[in-house]
Amino acid sequence: MLRNFTTLSDLKAYIPNLENLLWTDNENYSAQIAAAEREVRDDLLNRGLRDVYLRPDLTLNAGTSAVSVSTQTDSVSETYQRARWVVNVKAVTSSVTLTLQGSNDNETFETVETITATETGVTTALIGKPFSYYRAIIVPSTGSATVETYLTETIYDTLFAYKTLIIILTSMIVSENDQWATKQRYFMEQYSQLLNKAKIAYDSNQDGDIESGETASMNIVAYLK
pLDDT (tens digit per residue) in 210-223: 776 667 666 544 33
pLDDT at residue 22, as a whole number: 87
Helices 179-197 + 155-170 axis angle, to 10: 150
The amino acid at residue 123 is T
Displacement of CA 202 from its chain's centroid (Å)? 15
pLDDT at residue 212, as a whole number: 65
Domains, the chain: 8-53+154-217 (no CATH), 58-152 (2.60.120.1110)
* Cα–Cα distance measured from residue 91 to residue 121, given in angstroms and rounded to the nearest whole number: 9
pLDDT (tens digit per residue) in 5-38: 999 999 999 999 998 888 777 789 999 999 999 9
pLDDT at residue 114, as a whole number: 98
pLDDT (tens digit per residue) in 48-105: 888 888 988 999 999 999 999 999 999 999 988 899 999 999 999 999 999 999 999 9
Specify the range with the lowest mean pLDDT, choosing from 160-164, 200-204, 214-218.
214-218
Half-sphere exposure of 189 (CA within 13 A, CB side): 6
Q: Are 96 and 145 in contact (CB under 8 A)?
A: yes
* Cα–Cα distance measured from residue 156 to residue 84, given in angstroms and rounded to the nearest whole number: 11
* Cα–Cα distance measured from residue 101 to residue 103, given in angstroms and rounded to the nearest whole number: 7
Residue 201 has pLDDT above 90, yes or no: no
pLDDT at residue 213, as a whole number: 65
pLDDT (tens digit per residue) in 116-148: 999 999 999 999 999 999 999 999 999 999 999
Query: Beta strand pairing status for 145-152 and 96-103?
Result: unpaired
Specify the range with the lowest mean pLDDT, choosing from 96-105, 193-202, 203-212.
203-212
- Determine the average pLDDT of the residues in 181-192: 97
